Amino acid sequence: MAVLELDAEISRGEHFDDAPLKLYVLFSTHRRREPYALCLDRSMMATPVNPTGSTDLTDDSPVGQALATPTPTAAARYVEEPRQLVGGHAVRLLRNGVETFPAWLEAIEAARSRISLEMYIFSDDAIGRKFADALSHAARRGVEVRLLYDFVGCRDTPAEFFDRMRAHGVHVIAYHRYRFWRPRFWALLRRNHRKTLVCDGRIAFAGGLNIANDWVSLADGGGDWHDAVFQVEGPAVATIETIFLRTWNRRAKKWARLDPARLAPPAAAGDTALVVISNSEMRDRFVIRRAALHAVRESARRVYLANPYFVPDRGVLHALQRAARRGVDVRLLLPLESDSTILDLAARAVFGPLLAAGVRIWQSRAVVHTKVLSVDDVFVSIGSYNFDHRSLAYNLEMVVNVVDERASASVTAMLEADMTATEELTREGFGRRPLLVRLLERLAYAFRKWL
């Protein structure tokens, strides 16, 4: 069975926590068939039809041809499958809500044909209402607006908030809405954790920010959580929108679906090479983890990793330790306190082995929600993926892996600025924590698969 072959190449001595993990993932996933309307090429919404009429994203379709253009480069060694690298992109780093939210709102305001928004948390607060108004205004001026939000992620957002957008013409779907008359336990576990925005098939955004006041600056009354997003223009915009549509089309009514093969391929917009990597509800559960491990193993000088819920399996832990022991400057940027105390305890359980191997750790008093991996001076990965069991086994996730010195320099500067603003954790200082705290850390880490 294909699922059992998901990561036959994990190899190199890097195993998961226990042998039955692949079977565990197999029995904890499900997959729906493609919608009937897409299989028979039925009419969708008003977006112009691609003359090929194809319903699949293949190498023969215009979008497939745009995405299949290889970009040979010496730096491609950081990418597990160099043939997947696609050139022709303009990539811009957006830091925190102060840079990201204005860029998102500007793109929504400029949209003229369609908007595809995928969000884990969409709050009914000041910034959330500003985005709701922007999406509603876009729908009223004739833009096809699709919003896919996560039901559990938005559990504190009242249904009336989304109903108001529906009343203005926004097509809204909740991912895995729980219904008591049709209970599905796995619906509560399996979440859509992606955060993407695509406007007119021309510009896309992917990263870790949600639409909530936590990401608004302190000066504007928010929580000032630190985070990062890539703004992408070029052929990979089609990939990001296709990933969104494949999830959307399985849940949307026939008239609201959109076949990605009907969309015109984006033109080249720059000279940056990148690859978009995502998992699905059933397949490719480990592809993001494997890509990150490959880049770490190829590192020669530097590995910077920022993550809010860093509870790695032993394979990730060993890869970082080995990199540090062979002389690579391995640094972790983590929050001193996230929004989950038990995850903070589980994360600290691995600090001792990492510090002993030479890994340097910074814990920021600001909430670091940034999900970034930077390797040497050329590879950068930004997305929604946390190095914890939930992202590995349950969540829908996506990352954008960029091979570009300029993008790497901007990300490195951002991470080093955050490190400068906090204190480095020392092995001696960390070793002085009470015995009870150590026991709680080990207990939390033992239950990491259930957090």
Known catalytic membership, residue 195: yes
Q: Which of 227, 259, 313, 376 is catalytic?
A: 376
Q: Which of 176, 226, 294, 371 is catalytic?
A: 371
**Half-sphere exposure of residue 431, counting CA atoms within 13 Å on the CB side?**
8
Annotate 291-323 with b (16+ C-beta within 10 A) or e (fewer).
bbbbbbebbeebbbbbbbbbbbbebbbbbbbbb
Q: Which of 171, 195, 226, 389 is catalytic?
A: 195
Known catalytic membership, residue 369: yes
Mapped to the 3 state alphabet, what secondary structure does 288-313 carry?
Answer: HHHHHHHHHHCCCCEEEEECCCCCCC
Known catalytic membership, residue 254: no
Known catalytic membership, residue 404: no
Known catalytic membership, residue 318: no
How far apart CA 277 and CA 346 sit, in angstroms, is 27
Determine contact, residues 213/221, Cβ cutoff 8 Å.
Answer: yes
The three-state secondary structure class of 72 is coil
Nearest to 174 by CA among 156, 194, 153: 153
* N-terminal to C-terminal alpha carbon distance within the chain: 29
Q: With the C-alpha atoms ordered 67, 72, 75, 79, is the resulting torsion angle positive or negative?
A: positive
Known catalytic membership, residue 200: yes
Q: Which of 200, 284, 329, 339 is catalytic?
A: 200
How far apart CA 369 and CA 226 sit, in angstroms, is 6
Q: Which of 125, 369, 388, 418 is catalytic?
A: 369
Q: Which of 193, 226, 294, 389 is catalytic?
A: 193
Count the neighbouring beta carbons within 10 Å of the beta carbon of residue 173: 18
| Cα-to-chain-centroid distance, residue 83 | 22
Report, as residue numbers or ranges, the catalytic residues. Answer: 193, 195, 200, 369, 371, 376
